[in-house]
Amino acid sequence: MSTQIAEQPWSPSTYKTDEHPIWCPGCGDFGVLDSLYKSLAGLKVPPKDLVVVSGIGCSGRTPGFIKSYGFHSLHGRVLPVALGVKLANPSLHVFGVGGDGDGFAIGGGHIPHAARRNPDMVYIVMDNSTYGLTKGQYSPTSQVGHQAGSTPYGNIEQPLNPLAMLIAYGATFVGQGYSGKPKELTDLITKAAEHKGFAFLNVISPCITFHNTYKVIPPRLKEMPADHDATNRAKAFELALQTEHLLLGVFYQVQQPTFEEGVASVIKKAQAASPPRLEAIFAEFS
């Protein structure tokens, strides 16, 4: 995304509203929100040019805490709404935010199409492997054996692999962060925002109330190997499939034409057609 620099002091407080988050104390989403504030300040994104779209769930409250235009959409409908916003005004900086249930269950059908279209936007999933807003049912990323209100004898379903899924679908930027590493997460969000195309970030964001993983997650965290070639799709897929560690950083990044560029090209061709095809079509129904 291109950024605009204005003559004013930029700080995380530039993007804070008077609304105070009501997440449970210790929720990982606080870390994601704080890193997003810091990234926006570093990028110097004018609040008037920023749109944050969310779905349903604890993370769905995020737009209310950011000084920008916001849209709290329906369950699982983050991506189509965000894409509509971007197409209506390509100059806007568009961020989609949601949870693993919102994004990978009811909203899962929108992900491959957003990835293949490659709109210039960022999609952040706060992954806690549970439905925190509705009392802790298991989610699409819950591990086998996970015990919850909906699976008292343990989850029997294999979890989805968001990173491998997005790489396979053709997203042009795929990364993973951890809410407990704010500096690294801020840098990762910034890289995603600077990427021209569809940038997906899976952020491990523990639920302190229903699925507290603060003790089991840190020992598994590992930074992306310094020699990793993020343009190597096969290697990125290989790293995404390994389960020994939870790798943090950019798995995959390539440059491709964006959806908005493609739409603009089609409009230009249609306008240049002789006779104008759109006018001919409209005339048939007038």
Average the pLDDT over each of 16-25, 166-175, 262-271 and give the range with the smallest value: 262-271
Question: In order of start, what are the domains of the chain with their CATH numbers?
Answer: 12-255 (3.40.50.970), 259-286 (no CATH)
Mean pLDDT of 195-223: 96
pLDDT digits (tens, 9 = 90+) for 63-120: 999 999 999 999 989 999 999 999 999 999 999 999 999 999 999 999 999 999 999 9
Q: Output the pLDDT for position 278.
A: 65
Rounded to two decimals, the pTM is: 0.92
Residue 4 above 60 pLDDT?
A: no
Helices (H), the chain: 29-43, 78-88, 100-101, 111-117, 162-169, 182-194, 233-241, 259-272, 277-284
Question: Could you give the CA distance from residue 280 to residue 278 in angstroms, rounded to a whole number?
Answer: 5
Residue 6 above 50 pLDDT?
A: no
Q: Let me know: does 279 contact 267? Beta carbons within 8 Å.
A: no
pLDDT digits (tens, 9 = 90+) for 133-149: 888 888 999 899 889 88
Which candidate, 243, 227, 235, 172, places its Cα nearest to that of 201?
A: 172
Mean pLDDT of 9-16: 92
